[in-house]
Amino acid sequence: MVPDLDPPVKRQHWHRTPGVASGGEKCRHLVESSPGSLLTTVSLSSFSATPSQLGPLSLLVIGVAAVHCMGLLVKCARHFCLRLNKPFVDYGDTVMYGLESSPSAWLRNHAHWGRRVVDFFLIVTQLGFCCVYFVFLADNFKQVVEAANSTTTNCHNNETVILTPTMDSRLYMLALLPFLVLLVFIRNLRVLSIFSLLANISMLVSLILIYQFIVQGLPNPSHLPLVAPWKTYPLFFGTAIFAFEGIGMVLPLENKMKDPQKFPFILYLGMAIVTIVYISLGSLGYLQFGASIQGSITLNLPNCWLYQSVKLLYSIGIFFTYGLQFYVPAEIIVPFFVSRAPEPCQLLVDLAVRTAMVCLTCILAVLIPRLDLVISLVGSVSSSALALVIPPLLEVITYSSEGLGPLTLAKDALISILGFVGFVVGTYESLAELIQPTAAPMSTNSSRAFAYGAGLLL
């Protein structure tokens, strides 16, 4: 689920707006803004990338590190707001001001690149989410259509049914393309927030029904492997960090708090809820489906009308959230082209650029139709940088003149190294799997590797 937050069109116009929302509303927005909560997509495909027992612990460690980095970002942003007498600074501004305060002359001279790097990773991350939505929608609609003739009213026996073959999932993506193009033509976030409300309701109902199914008749876990190949752990890392990558929403949410001093409590409470949902859903889903897991937990639901409706309901929610996730990169990219066009052509250029961006996400989804690998690749490439690598380094640079204790320096170094290693190894393994897939199908190999953590992505 995604927040119906209405961020300003241009970063430099963001300002503190006290009294906009209460702590409870911001906690809800924080929970909703986590990409993992948007997807049943990665649903079961992510944890067996680790030893089975190590999955929950790994997710907890990554979650704690990611939330701590969110806190570091808020801390540094407040530091520069007070120091520069500014009402609000966003992620890119904070990094830029941090580099400007660095003792290194080279970093000070190239501080503007800090903002550009953050913008680049935000664009990659958000468009990556959009690619995931294409694959998710295609897979679920395809399964519903192919199982239509075999769908029953009996939801107690999850029998294997013979699916009626239809067109390739990539053709479903192309069929969805014009509808998503029309969706992103809606440029007013207040209008999109109506769709956000519908999406939130549909996904909440779906999530309740999914939990209701996976807790029934859990099989004996003794048949599950104790240890999965360690080579799949980088894929798990990418999926897990993808699930927790909500750091881009932290400062806008803090900006709209009635009492910003309460934001750290709201942050930790909201992310604790997210972590509990991820771990419980991943664990129960993996125990329920075991080695038969697929790239999305919805794809493992029975072929009865109730759970087929869940797939459709969740897919509708994901469809509407596409426009909201698309908004962030659009507000970075579109103005660049519109500002260079003659005034009579600006609207046409705006719509053309939006269409091209949607087509780009569709093309990437068609080229990489394996949902779990798309998520792992996006998580490894950009989410790890935004969520783990940059914030600790930002703290070191920001407070270098004031002095940091050895424990703080060691902690920041450890988190950044963890993020960088995950970035390098996770990207390598994801690309290697894309270029030269393993002999085993995804659902029994790399999915199995993902299996547990994907449940986190519901």
Convert 125-141 to b/e letters by CB count within 10 Å (16 or more is b): bbbbbbbbbbbbbbbbb
**Domain formed by 32-154+173-434, architecture:** Up-down Bundle (1.20)
Residue 344 CB contacts under 8 Å (≥ 6 apart), including other chains: none
Maximum mean pLDDT: which of 46-55, 423-432, 448-457? 423-432
Q: How confident is the model at residue 451 (pLDDT cuts 50, 70, 90)?
A: very low
What's 370's DSSP letter?
-
Task: Say yes or no to pLDDT of 208 above 60.
Answer: yes
Q: From the CA atom positions of the chain, what is the Rg in Å? A: 22
pLDDT digits (tens, 9 = 90+) for 22-53: 444 545 444 444 554 444 444 344 444 454 55
Task: Say yes or no to pLDDT of 180 above 90.
Answer: yes
Query: What average pLDDT score do residues 174-187 get?
Result: 92
Domain ranges across the chain: 32-154+173-434
pLDDT digits (tens, 9 = 90+) for 209-228: 888 888 887 777 666 665 56
Residue type, 350: D
Q: What pLDDT score does 53 carry?
A: 58
Task: Say yes or no to pLDDT of 332 above 80.
Answer: yes
pLDDT digits (tens, 9 = 90+) for 53-63: 567 788 888 88
- Say how far apart CA 196 and CA 178 lie, in whole Å: 20
Q: Nearest to residue 310, comparing CAs of 325, 300, 320, 324?
A: 300
Q: What average pLDDT is seen over the chain?
A: 76
Q: How confident is the model at residue 202 (pLDDT cuts 50, 70, 90)?
A: confident
Q: What pLDDT score does 264 carry?
A: 80
Q: What pLDDT score does 407 carry?
A: 92
Any idea of the CA torsion for 116, 122, 128, 129, to the nearest 10 degrees?
-160
- Say how far apart CA 79 and CA 404 lie, in whole Å: 15
pLDDT digits (tens, 9 = 90+) for 77-130: 989 988 988 888 888 889 999 999 888 889 889 899 999 999 899 898 888 888
What's 285's DSSP letter?
H
Which comes out higher in pLDDT, residue 389 or 269?
A: 389
Burial class of residue 435 in the structure, from the number of CB atoms within 10 Å of its CB (0-12 exposed, 13-18 middle, 19+ buried): exposed
pLDDT digits (tens, 9 = 90+) for 224-254: 665 566 677 777 788 888 877 777 777 777 7
Residue type, 126: Q
Return the residue matching tokens 């990437």: 364
Q: Nearest to residue 229, comparing CAs of 2, 1, 449?
A: 449
pTM: 0.77
